[in-house]
Amino acid sequence: MDFCEAVKLAQIRYIDGETLRFILEASRSCHPDEFAAVLRADGEVVKEVLLLPGTISSDESALLRLHMLPIDPTVCGTVHSHPSSSMRPSGADLILFSKFGRIHIIVSFPYDERSWKAYTHSGKEIELEVVG
């Protein structure tokens, strides 16, 4: 990890437990289609999920309409589900990560507390501690 990446990541170290439970339930509810949304942080903690109007989901992908995103400096990244059990970012995921946000979460089937991973904008896996 380079210095600039480390400085950016120092700001987001946690995810609120209620927010994570919402993400897992929303992903479970959308299955077998993908769930996708934008994350908002309060300081070092991912605290909210923003559902963007016009998001399109299928069993193969989800398309976020980022032009619908409000101007908001607390927006920190994205979350989406993989209907399979893979939590690895696809090539399309890595392109999105590199263009938008600092933190990206992928959740996978069966959408439980062990079925998610967080990644940096460059696709490196990182740990987010669940709080609350």
- Give the contacts of 102 (CB within 8 A, at least 6 positions apart): 8, 9, 11, 12, 76, 77, 120, 121
Task: Based on the residue annotation, tell me whether 34 is a catalytic residue of this protein.
Answer: yes
Encoding tokens for residue 91?
Answer: 């090539």
Annotated catalytic residue, options 5, 18, 25, 34: 34
Angle (CA) 45 121 3, round 5°: 85
Spatial CA neighbour of 39 closest among 61, 69, 60, 83: 69
**60: exposed, middle or buried (Cβ count in 10 Å: 0-12, 13-18, 19+):** exposed
CA dihedral 7, 15, 105, 41 (to 10 degrees): -60
- Residues involved in catalysis: 34
